Amino acid sequence: MKMVVHLDKNSYPIVLERGVLTHIGDFLDVQRKVALITESGVPEKWVELIRKQLPDGLVLTFPEGEGSKCFTQYENLLKQLIDAHFTRKDAVIALGGGVTGDLAGFVASSYMRGIDFYNLPTTVLSQVDSSVGGKVAIDVGAVKNIVGAFYQPKAVLIDPDVLQTLPQRQINNGLMEALKTGLIQDPELFRLFESDDRCIDAIIEHSIDVKRRVVEQDEKESGLRKCLNFGHTIGHAIEGAYGLNTYLHGECVAMGMLFMIENAALKKQVLTIYEKLHIPPVPDYDVDVLMDFIAHDKKNNAGSVTVVLVKELGSFVLEQWSFDQVRAVLERGPYEE
């Protein structure tokens, strides 16, 4: 199955196909230097599958985890491209999860002011969400994605077969971004979570299709695209407050969404899904610490923040809240009406 993200000269295909990673040469020119940027957690068999299709490939592996989305790793990767004499005609492939796509994409966006970038996501989270849309970034300290760019890939190749080696916690983590998409835009996608035989291919297809349509209408997040941040304002704050490595990103988004669902029956349905997928409960938090992170949110506007609320399944409302309103919600807690 192939979709195209229509963005004028930055348009690109998303290929969702079991086995697509066995023939990447059909989608990109491999007859040049290609940096295959990957993280240590990606099984060797997937790295080798891609490497052997790259006659002049350079495998660059960084330690897995959010901690690698930092200036040190960013600089290391750039230095390795310089040492290997990469030119503007060469390319970067990201093979991994959201961290790899963000880091490798930011490297590609800035090396020589931008070289070709291809995203080959290997986790549920990156397949349903982060590989599409061109957000690339690193963190500074515990502040998530604070330095980055909008830099669209030349193609996204999604192969659900690679998920067979993914630990269950990572699968459930990624599913939270798809659940988010269902809650804000796609009731049918939400229903897939309520059925007992969740079909991952259908979840990916629904999620990516919604994301594609949102990005086409608002590439740089001036309006509509903010809906994709449902759960992220408080989610990112919890992620940061717990040191970026205690909870996974999707788990934090799941926690963050609870504060922003203004429909008791729907919240109950969501909590039932969390229970089935073993999503951790919201931990104890210090309101002042979370507010400090929220003060750095990119959706801030002098003294207020754009929040995404879900009142009815499949739709969202954007509201401009004062910090006092956010504080009140944090003080009320995630499980209260």
Ligand X SMILES: O=C(O)C(=O)C[C@@H](O)[C@H](O)[C@H](O)COP(=O)(O)O
95, 119 contact by CB (below 8 A): no
Least Å distance, CB 90 to ligand X, is 26
Residue whose C-alpha is closest to residue 54's, from 25, 22, 79, 82: 25
* Pattern 282-321, ligand X, x by CB under 6 A: ----------------x-----------------------
Catalytic residue, chosen from 33, 144, 180, 211, is: 211
Q: Give dist(CA 34, CA 115) in Å, integer.
A: 10
118, 93 contact by CB (below 8 A): yes
By DSSP bridging, strand 300-301 and strand 304-309 are antiparallel
Residues 6+ apart with CB under 8 A from 253: 176, 177, 180, 231, 232, 235
Catalytic residue, chosen from 144, 154, 249, 267, is: 249
Q: How many CB atoms lie within 10 A of CB 70?
A: 18
Query: Is 133 an interacting residue with respect to ligand X (CB under 6 A)?
Result: yes
The residue among 57 and 67 lying less far from ligand X, judged by its C-beta, is: 67
Kindly indicate which of the ranges 9-17, 53-61, 224-232, 307-315 contains the residues binding ligand X, using the contact rule CB under 6 A: 224-232
Query: Is 258 an interacting residue with respect to ligand X (CB under 6 A)?
Result: no
Residue whose C-alpha is closest to residue 247's, from 262, 231, 263, 260: 231
Which residue of 138, 229, 244, 277 would you call a contact of ligand X, by CB under 6 A? Answer: 229
Closest residue to ligand X, judged by C-beta, is 145
The residue among 177 and 209 lying less far from ligand X, judged by its C-beta, is: 177
* Pattern 63-102, ligand X, x by CB under 6 A: ----------------------------------------
Query: Is 228 an interacting residue with respect to ligand X (CB under 6 A)?
Result: yes
Query: Is 239 an interacting residue with respect to ligand X (CB under 6 A)?
Result: no
147, 299 contact by CB (below 8 A): no
**Residues from 139 through 178 that contact ligand X (CB under 6 A):** 144-145, 177
Catalytic residue, chosen from 154, 236, 267, 298, is: 236
Whether residue 232 lies in the annotated active site: yes
Whether residue 33 lies in the annotated active site: no
Whether residue 211 lies in the annotated active site: yes
At 317, which helix (H) or strand (E)? Answer: strand 317-322
In degrees to the nearest 10, what's the CA dihedral of 42, 240, 278, 156? -40
Least Å distance, CB 298 to ligand X, is 5
Which residue of 129, 139, 239, 251 would you call a contact of ligand X, by CB under 6 A? Answer: 129
Catalytic residue, chosen from 144, 154, 172, 177, is: 177
Q: How many CB atoms lie within 10 A of CB 23?
A: 11
DSSP tag of 10: G
Least Å distance, CB 253 to ligand X, is 7
Provide the token pair at 55: 């006659």
Q: Is 263 exposed, middle or buried (0-12, 13-18, 19+ CB in 10 A)?
A: middle
| Residues known to be catalytic | 113, 135, 177, 211, 221, 225, 229, 232, 236, 249
Q: Contact residues for ligand X (CB under 6 A)?
A: 129-130, 133, 135, 144-145, 177, 221, 225, 228-229, 232, 298
